[in-house]
Amino acid sequence: MTNEKNFYITTPIYYVNDAPHIGHAYTTLACDTMARYKRLMGYDVKFATGTDEHGQKVEKAAAAAGMDPKDFVDKVSQTFRHLAVEMQITNDDFIRTTEPRHIKAAQQLWVELINRGEIYLGSYAGWYSVRDEAFYAESELIDGKAPTGAPVEWVEEPSYFFKLSAWGDKLLEFYEKHPDFIQPESRRNEVISFVKSGLRDLSISRASFKWGVPVPNDPDHVMYVWLDALTNYLTVLGYPDTNSDDFKKFWPESVHVVGKDILRFHTVYWPAFLMAAGLTPPKKIFAHGWWTNEGVKISKSLGNTIDPIELINTFGVDAVRYFLLREVSFGQDGDFSLSGLINRYNSDLANSYGNLVQRVLSFIYKQCDGKVPQPAEYTAEDKDLLIEADALPEILEQNMENFSFHKHAEHIWQVIFKANQYVDMQKPWVLKATDPKRMQTILYILAETIRKIAILTQPILPIASEKILDQLAMTKRGLDVFNQALQPGTPLPEPKGVFPRWVEKA
Ligand code: MSP
């Protein structure tokens, strides 16, 4: 039962080998923005994030911390949960792969695959990178390292294999039939050429350590961490119960947002596992780019990771959201810099949006008795501004459906710019004595423009938009009320600044 008004969006589940950084925050913020947008559009949304807690990488991190793996993952997982709370993320679920519901789901997927003859027992002799949790062919290595630069080690052990080699043509057919499955387009081409170059069977179990989901009926093996981890997207919907309400509602209406580094796992292995288990692959995989810090690759060893909580505590959630979503086109790489964030904040939020709202609402509060003004006849300029604002929902839809957050913001800011120009040109403050009716009309047009803008900025700037809509005494905030104009005479609360200008402390 699929319904076009159901929408399921997921972040990758984060490895708990280390504390969260800006890269993790970015994916989660983007998904949160999308989830908020879909809710605004009246969709029933399921939004999940969580932690990936098995595998050698996590096991080694626990050992390095001198902790039992379970205690270690319990502790680090909390830091990711905490980040989501601090960022005011609206996830409906937080999945951990060590939870019984997930172990059951992962084992069931295994059983399904083995029952369908998709898995065989063999032995693996080859390269493995713990950092990437990935197997590499000799031919893929560059100077004795993984193509990602990660160290590799030689692994020789009995292993179960998934018959990935048999799925190449079916995958290509699937990509062909679903041209939107892999986004952006450039990534799609990359995946297609990888699959065309021929797929090898995939090792899907490890026998040399224990920190993983036990392979059903073979206690010597644990499941390969990626097969385990990918299944989380099903666990959240109640799998193995494919008759659960959530499963019927949200699968395969699903979008997995991932970083470009984990594209292959999501666009090749995952649909192949699903098709082999008789399940439909998800609707879309969107791969975003990577952030550098002041031009330098972010890495723990360089000590230049950016703590998202520190940023939020300094600048506020909305400022961080706005910068990350506005600065680069989603899908491209971006460079993080404090000066960039401060510039964006001051120019777009404090000086443009904040200034518009503050000067209009405080003027209304003082000059219109703290009530929504009473408009009279509209001039051509009035109508022009309203027409611009009215065009935004359609543009919003076009952009957001493609994850073009930056374009969505760009269009809104064009209207904000126009509205500020309109204030300067109409000069409502000089009309108080001479033409109060006209003053009220101008202010009404502005209040309406701000209301419309604030409805549309909710996905990107949830906290500020809420404050602005509060200041307009709006209780309903969905797109369905976009055309319900403000009622003249409605009492308004005293306005407070939403984006105070950021001044560097000396
Ligand atoms: N556990 C796997 C995902 C399993 S999903 C079934 C994993 N975890 S991760 O913690 O290493 O990375 C999670 C996400 O963070 C990835 O999508 C990755 O692209 C993203 N980022 C990590 N560093 C990043 C940047 N510097 N910039 C942007 N995103 C980055 O992979």
Closest CA to 103 of 4, 203, 234, 205: 234
Q: Is residue 301 part of a domain?
A: no
Q: Is residue 294 part of a domain?
A: no
For residues 38-59, one letter each, b for 16 or more C-beta atoms within 10 angstroms of the residue's C-beta and e for the rest, the string is bbbbebebbbbbbbbbbbbbbb
In this structure, the answer to whether residues 277 and 398 fall within a common structural domain is no
In this structure, the answer to whether residues 90 and 178 fall within a common structural domain is yes
In this structure, the answer to whether residues 400 and 477 fall within a common structural domain is yes
In this structure, the answer to whether residues 124 and 241 fall within a common structural domain is yes
CB of 262 closer than 6 A to ligand 1?
yes
Q: Is residue 121 part of a domain?
A: yes
Q: Is the pLDDT of residue 505 over 90?
A: no
In this structure, the answer to whether residues 274 and 215 fall within a common structural domain is yes
Report residue 2's pLDDT band, with 50, 70 and 90 as the boundaries: very low
* CA distances from residue 255 to 248, 266, 349, 383 in whole angstroms, order as listed: 15, 11, 30, 39
Q: Radius of gyration of the chain from Cα atoms?
A: 26
Which residue's C-alpha comes closest to atom 21 of ligand 1?
23
In this structure, the answer to whether residues 274 and 350 fall within a common structural domain is no
Q: How far is the CA of 14 from the centre of ligand 1 (A)?
A: 6
Are the C-beta atoms of 204 and 216 separated by less than 8 Å? Answer: no
pLDDT at 36: 98
Report residue 210's pLDDT band, with 50, 70 and 90 as the boundaries: very high
pLDDT at 160: 98
Q: Is the pLDDT of residue 1 over 60?
A: no
CB of 290 closer than 6 A to ligand 1?
yes
Each residue's pLDDT tens digit, 9-67: 999 999 999 899 999 999 999 999 999 999 999 999 999 999 999 999 999 999 999 99
* Other CB atoms within 10 Å distance of the CB of residue 286: 25
Q: Is residue 324 part of a domain?
A: no
CB of 261 closer than 6 A to ligand 1?
yes
In this structure, the answer to whether residues 441 and 373 fall within a common structural domain is yes
Domain count across the chain: 2
CB of 273 closer than 6 A to ligand 1?
no
Each residue's pLDDT tens digit, 285-327: 999 999 999 999 988 778 888 999 999 999 999 999 999 999 9
Each residue's pLDDT tens digit, 147-204: 999 999 999 999 999 999 999 999 999 999 999 999 999 999 999 999 999 999 999 9
Q: Is residue 112 part of a domain?
A: yes
CATH at residue 399? 1.10.730.10
CB of 298 closer than 6 A to ligand 1?
yes
Q: Give the predicted TM-score (pTM) of the model.
A: 0.96
87, two tokens: 């960022």
372: containing domain: 338-481
Which residue's C-alpha comes closest to atom 12 of ligand 1?
14
Report residue 374's pLDDT band, with 50, 70 and 90 as the boundaries: very high
In this structure, the answer to whether residues 151 and 211 fall within a common structural domain is yes
Closest CA to 87 of 47, 54, 46, 52: 47
pLDDT at 220: 97
Exposed/middle/buried for 20, CB within 10 Å: 0-12, 13-18, 19+? Answer: buried
In this structure, the answer to whether residues 351 and 278 fall within a common structural domain is no
In this structure, the answer to whether residues 91 and 160 fall within a common structural domain is yes
Q: Is residue 312 part of a domain?
A: no
CB of 12 closer than 6 A to ligand 1?
yes
Are the C-beta atoms of 267 and 191 separated by less than 8 Å? Answer: yes
Mutation test residue for ligand 1: of 16, 22, 49, 52, the one with most atoms within 8 Å of CB: 52
Residue 72: partners with Cβ closer than 8 Å, 6 or more residues away: 16, 58, 61, 62, 65
* CA distances from residue 70 to 58, 356, 377 in whole angstroms, order as listed: 10, 52, 69
Q: What is the mean pLDDT of residues 480-487?
A: 96
Whole-angstrom distance, CA of residue 147 vs CA of residue 137 = 10
Q: What is the mean pLDDT of residues 461-474?
A: 97
- What is the residue-averaged pLDDT of the chain? 96
Each residue's pLDDT tens digit, 73-117: 999 999 999 999 999 999 999 999 999 999 999 999 999 999 999
Strand partners, 205: 223
In this structure, the answer to whether residues 348 and 283 fall within a common structural domain is no
Each residue's pLDDT tens digit, 401-456: 999 999 999 999 999 999 999 999 999 999 999 999 999 999 999 999 999 999 99
Q: Is residue 382 part of a domain?
A: yes
In this structure, the answer to whether residues 376 and 278 fall within a common structural domain is no
Report residue 394's pLDDT band, with 50, 70 and 90 as the boundaries: very high
CATH at residue 189? 3.40.50.620
Exposed/middle/buried for 307, CB within 10 Å: 0-12, 13-18, 19+? Answer: middle
Exposed/middle/buried for 460, CB within 10 Å: 0-12, 13-18, 19+? Answer: buried
Q: What is the mean pLDDT of residues 229-249?
A: 98
Atom number in ligand 1 closest to CA 24: 15
Q: How far is the CA of 24 from the centre of ligand 1 (A)?
A: 6
Atom number in ligand 1 closest to CA 291: 27
Q: How far is the CA of 228 from the centre of ligand 1 (A)?
A: 16
Are the C-beta atoms of 207 and 221 separated by less than 8 Å? Answer: yes
Which residue's C-alpha comes closest to atom 13 of ligand 1?
14
CA angle 106, 270, 189 (to 5 degrees): 170
Q: Is residue 139 part of a domain?
A: yes
Residue 73: partners with Cβ closer than 8 Å, 6 or more residues away: 16, 51, 53, 58, 62, 96, 98
- Give me the half-sphere count of Cα atoms (radius 13 Å) on the Cβ side of residue 32: 28
